[in-house]
Structure 1
Amino acid sequence: MTAPAGLARRAGTRLWNGLLWLAVVGCAVWALVRGVGFDTRTPFAQLVTFTPYVAAFSLVPAVLAAVTRRWRALVAAVVVVVAFGFFVVPRVLPSGSPSGDRLRVVAFNTKLGAGSVSSFAALVRAAKPDVVMVQELTPEWAAEFSALGLFPYSALRALPGASGTGIWARYPLTDSRTVDPKSGFDQTFALLRRPGKPVLEVISAHPRPPIFKPEEFGSVARWTGDLSRLPRASRSGPVRIMAGDFNASLDHSPFRKLVGSGYVDAAAEVGKGLVPTWPMNGNKAPPVTLDHVLVDSRGDAFSFDAHTIPGSDHRAVSAGLVLRA
């Protein structure tokens, strides 16, 4: 082998090792940010949403290190893969065998009222939910859906733009109010009174998004503030159900803190925690899971599905819940 050829080979080896370690370290840094919850500032609040994609990519440097016998890189890569597995895998593993009082819930973000009312109504007729919770509820959308007469009861806080929310139900809704007047969006709270059964608390959830421009309706600080204002889970009082567009995934530490207070995420409970819900309208961003159905620890889930509705960038989500209290 000539000297130039040997130099070229060594340079190629160093380049390969550098790229391999760069991939391993990059994935490790991402796992660290996600693991310690360093996601309450830009750009981490936006990027951490894509953790499931990075988790899948983390397998690549592990496989390449094994194939090329870079043992130290392999050990480091496997540690990173295990960390991501700890974060992500539980969402695809069904848990529990729920039984009890059943309730069906549907939630939908209309995208400023652009979501097809007729398509959503078809979903409602097929799913037969007891409660429907809608976000970005405009007065026009609310009037058109209400006119269909699918539900006898409602608690609506319809507003222009993204701020409105509402609840429709098969049973009486009372004590309607906003969750917290300090929240940027008007998140509707109501008591669901089912004849002969315990009263339930229901909330149409829609915290502001962690967008980049604080002069607009969202920012990371406002996002974390809105999430913190949603009620923590409790084992006293009525069973609480929150559903809607939380503008957060299970990789966001503020949302994990909310769920960790004692809520069950219906999708994760039935092994569908990676089913994407946004964006579903041709947007080039990889789809992620921002729409959730939560029930406090006195409940469980037996089903979950996501449904594309023309006109909206969010999928509607439906869940079957069981209530033990």
Structure 2
Amino acid sequence: MSDIQQLYNAVDSDQNLYSDWNREDSLRARPLFTVLWLVMLAVVVVMALRMIPNGFDGRKYIPVAVAFMPWMAGIAAIVLLCALVGRRRGLAAVCVVCCAIQVGWHWGYLRPADGAVADLPDTGTLTVNTGDRYARLMTLNTKNGLADADQIVRAVREEHVEVLALQEVQGTLLQRLERAGLTVLLPYSEIASVTNHDNGGVNALFTAAPMSSRTANLLPIESSNIPSGCVRFNLRTVCFGSVHPFSPRPRNQGLWNSSLDSISKLQSNTRLFVLLGDFNATWDHASFRSLLGSRFVDAGERNGAWFHMTYPSNAMLFCGRIAVPPLVEIDHIVHDRSITVGDLETLDIAGSDHRALLGTLDVGR
């Protein structure tokens, strides 16, 4: 046998051996990619649930699944990497489509909308002065009034907050806030009246300047009443409201949708509004997007500054050994398109299961 023939035989043997190895690797990897296909099937199902229209998106566990929508993009990206390494073209194509759709849905979190981010002053330079065009805002769900009052007041002082919205206020929280000095910093308040359909407590609104058109119940709603008041900034008057619709738990079937639908009626109100609170909904819920309509916007979704997850806060697993990061963005600052809210940030408050959400209001010239 010639040397050339021996070389051909050796190459052919190596190729056969390489093919055998590939087949063995493929067989070993098949269970893994079967699991990954099932994972992507679940991702596709959850993404399909996002497209259920308002009025139907509150059924059973649909709102809970949709609340975690941004995480579906992360899962799809991880599966895409595995598919590329394993050369699974079909699986990779499904992942790419899912990631592209997610980017489209959440583009406002990646790139600010036109006019959404103004040249806001540094937070440290802000002063409590309603005569200018800026105001620092803060909202917090106090978890049945268990939030640390001293820490709330400290945040108000250090962040130069001029408008504070609280939810689930009950027990001795108001007295503790007063002892901590809140009424010195924000002497004007409107507390919602107690009803038999409160959601964990009443809502409260505090401001640094006197409020006009004050009301303890802005509109009829089948959840905690919305306290509201209007404050004059520069040459414009802005009305604020502290909101807390029902959570979308199965036992609240129908109440979640109806609460959000009630708030959406403010679209026809002629006054300039900023709504702060625990909406128990994310940008991905059709009911929340319907609440916004063509008039209101969500500050978080327009700022291009990524997500500001607020729930759960201060959660621990394994007897307090592992902290659970906030996973969903259900606390919002919703406002008219003609004004701007930027410089968003979240803050942990002891005793609460929500992070506080802060932002800077610019009412414009």
- Give the TM-score taking structure 1 as reference length: 0.87
Structure-2 change in CA distance of 1:98 and 1:86 (3 Å): same
Write out per-residue CA displacement over residues 24-53 of structure 1, whole angstroms, 9 at most, x where no aligned residue: 222222211113446321111112111122
> Which residue in the other structure is 1:56 paired with?
74
Post-superposition offset of 1:133 = 0.8
> Which stretch of the first structure deviates more once superposed, 107-116 or 180-189?
180-189
> Which residue among 14, 29, 43 is the counterpart of 2:45?
29
Q: Which moved more, 1:38-47 or 1:165-174?
A: 38-47
Q: Counterpart of 1:118?
A: 150
Question: Displacement of 1:11 after TM fit?
Answer: 5.6
Q: Could you say what secondary structure the match of 1:199 adopts? A: strand
| SS of the residue 1:277 aligns to | coil
Residue 167 of structure 2 contacts residue 244 of structure 2 at CA under 8 Å; is this kept in 1? yes
Counterpart-to-counterpart distance in 2, 1:138 and 1:123 = 20
Matches of 1:221 and 1:179, distance apart in 2: 21
Instruction: Tell me which residue corresponds to 2:128.
Output: none
Contact 2:138 2:356 in 1 (8 A): yes
Distance 1:161 1:41, change over 3 A: closer
Structure 1: 5+ residue runs without aligned partners? none
Rounded Cα–Cα distance in structure 2 between residues aligned with 1:242 and 1:236: 13
Instruction: Give runs of aligned pairs for residues 65-76 of structure 1, distance below 5 A.
Output: 65-76=83-94
The residue that corresponds to 2:209 in the other structure is: 171
Question: Which residue number in structure 1 is paired with residue 122 of structure 2?
Answer: none
Q: State the alpha-carbon separation in 1 of the partners of residues 246 and 111 from structure 2.
A: 30
Cα distance in structure 2, aligned partners of 1:315 and 1:245 = 10
**More moved, 124-133 vs 263-272:** 263-272
User: For the structure 1 residues 126 and 81, does the alpha-carbon distance in structure 2 shift closer, same or farther, using more than 3 Å as the test?
Assistant: same
Contact 2:217 2:228 in 1 (8 A): yes
Q: Percent identity?
A: 24
The structure 1 residue matched to 2:165, chosen from 114, 126, 133, is 133
Secondary structure at 2:158 match in 1: helix
Kept in 2, the 8 Å contact 1:233–1:262? The answer is: no
The equivalent residue for 1:200 is 238
- For the 8 Å contact 1:138–1:158, the answer to whether it is kept is no
After TM superposition, the structure 1 stretch with the greater mean CA deviation from structure 2, 268-277 or 239-248, is 268-277
- Give the TM-score of the pair, scaled to structure 2: 0.78
Match for residue 156 of structure 1 among 177, 186, 191: 191
Structure 1 CA distance for aligned equivalents of residues 165 and 50 of structure 2: 30
Partners of 2:278 and 2:26 in 1: CA distance = 53
Q: Does 1:309 align with 2:344?
A: no
Amino acid at match of 1:169: T
Report the AA paired with residue 137 of structure 1. Answer: V
The answer to whether the 8 Å contact 1:105/1:318 transfers is yes
2:118 maps to 1:98 = yes
Q: Could you tell me whether the CA contact under 8 Å between 1:232 and 1:261 is conserved in 2?
A: no
Contact 1:156 1:167 (C-alpha < 8 Å) held by counterparts = yes
